[in-house]
Amino acid sequence: MSEGTYTKKEGSQKSIVFVDVEGEDFRIFPVIQENNTWVADTSGTEEIYLPMVVNSQAMDFNLVKRSFDLDVLTTPLKIRFATAGIPSQLNATLNGSVFAGFRTDVYTVKYQQNPLKAATRHVTRLGYSIGLFSGIGNSLISPSTTADRIAYEYDGIVWSKGLAGFIGINNYTIGLTVGIDNLLDSNRQIWIYERKPWLGLSFGLNLN
């Protein structure tokens, strides 16, 4: 969890708060609006201190943050649907793309009590995002993928683009992508997969 403004959800109640991260400890402040911007109210009257361990059972709530998402993603598996007499294929190819979209992160903060009556803080993250991607990859160009219009085969460079949705639990992120490829050479007119939709399994690395 990073420092910033969140929506705090506790039961049916919602409020805007500012989360300050101090090493392993969190401090949550109410906010006030100054110059059309939310800033932390540090008067101390409603500050919530969340250390790693407390001496009694503490609260259970969610912190929600919405943001712009910029990722690098790779799609190691692509399902290309049947076309031109070629059955559906599962392709594993080298590729990389840039993803841009909107992201929502939900942090669940809980304290679980142990037999010594001390409660340890646990924070889990569920994130999801949706947006567009664009990048470069390669695909096998052969007689079978060009309706026998060429007599050789090679790895052609393709431009991939489309729509992606990701879900992340703690440090693991996985997504589904729907895209099309454009072959970047003179054989694009005879490539049977030119601008044909495919379905992919993707993994992302957050840049922001």
Query: How is the chain split into domains, by residue range?
Result: 4-51, 67-206
pLDDT of residue 119: 81
**What percent of the chain is helix, strand and coil (3-state, nearest 5)?**
0, 70, 30
pLDDT of residue 118: 79
pLDDT of residue 44: 66
pTM score of the predicted model: 0.81
Bridge partners (DSSP) listed for residue 91 = 78
pLDDT of residue 164: 97
pLDDT of residue 57: 61
H/E element holding 64?
strand 61-80
Alpha-carbon gap, residue 136 to 95, rounded angstroms: 6
| Identity of residue 88 | S
- Low-confidence residues of the chain: pLDDT under 70: 44-46, 56-58, 171
